[in-house]
Amino acid sequence: MKPPILKTDDLVLRGFEYKDIDRLAMILNDPIVIGYMPGSRPWPREAAEREIGKIIDHWSERGYGRWAVTYGGCLIGWCGIEHIKELGETEVAYLLDREYWNRGFATKAAGLSLKYGFEEKGLERIIALAFPENIASRRVMEKNGMTFEKMTHIWNLDLVQYQIGFKMYKNRQRG
């Protein structure tokens, strides 16, 4: 499935293409950006290429996934929803080039992703995971109406797990 294009007033979320490899590799090679990712080590270009392949495959298998987040036509990161097989859950995930932090972009992109998951794909629940000390990521979750659910252990990491159900999402849209 080809991902639909989603837009805000300043962002465009589109499907990843292999032409994005070099720019994504630059983002994933920044130790500060990657510091809150499992492994927490900069990714080589080959890892960025594999990741784009996994993202494209996920869209084909599930009909949803992560988008390339662009600002002014420039790739600035990813955001979207993806199935986490180890948990049997769907997670909203986001990662942005540090130059674009603290502008509300992750919150906007995550909001679009949640909307797509609930309104277009009919999901009943979406989670988010983060290192407990990643306050910025937790704030993105909270600004999108997600609430802390529990600590969870996955990928040999202890992470916070937030969640939002369809009913809570719809109540936020009305209010």
The CATH number of whichever domain residue 115 belongs to comes to 3.40.630.30
According to the model, what pLDDT value does residue 108 have? 97
Please check whether residue 169 lies inside any domain of the structure. no
Burial of residue 152 (number of CB atoms within 10 Å: 0-12, 13-18, 19+): middle
Within a domain: 141:
no
Assigned domain for 50 exists: yes
Residue 43 domain-assigned (yes or no): yes
| Residue 52 main-chain phi, psi, to 5 deg | -60, -40
Q: What is the pLDDT along the chain (175 residues), one digit of tens a residue?
A: 799 999 999 999 999 998 999 999 999 999 888 887 766 666 788 888 898 999 999 999 999 999 999 999 999 999 999 999 999 999 999 999 999 999 999 999 999 999 999 999 999 999 999 999 999 999 999 999 999 999 999 988 899 999 999 999 999 888 6
The number of distinct structural domains making up the chain is: 1
CA-nearest of 111, 69, 80, 77 to 95 is 77
> Order of strands, edge to edge, in the sheet holding 125-130?
6-7, 11-14, 66-71, 74-84, 89-96, 125-130, 157-165, 147-154
Terminal-residue alpha carbon distance, the chain: 33
CA dist 35 and 41 (Å) reads: 7
- Check residue 40 and give its pLDDT: 62
Q: Is residue 155 part of a domain?
A: no
Q: Can you give the residue range of the structural domain that contains 106?
A: 6-124
In-domain check, residue 165: no
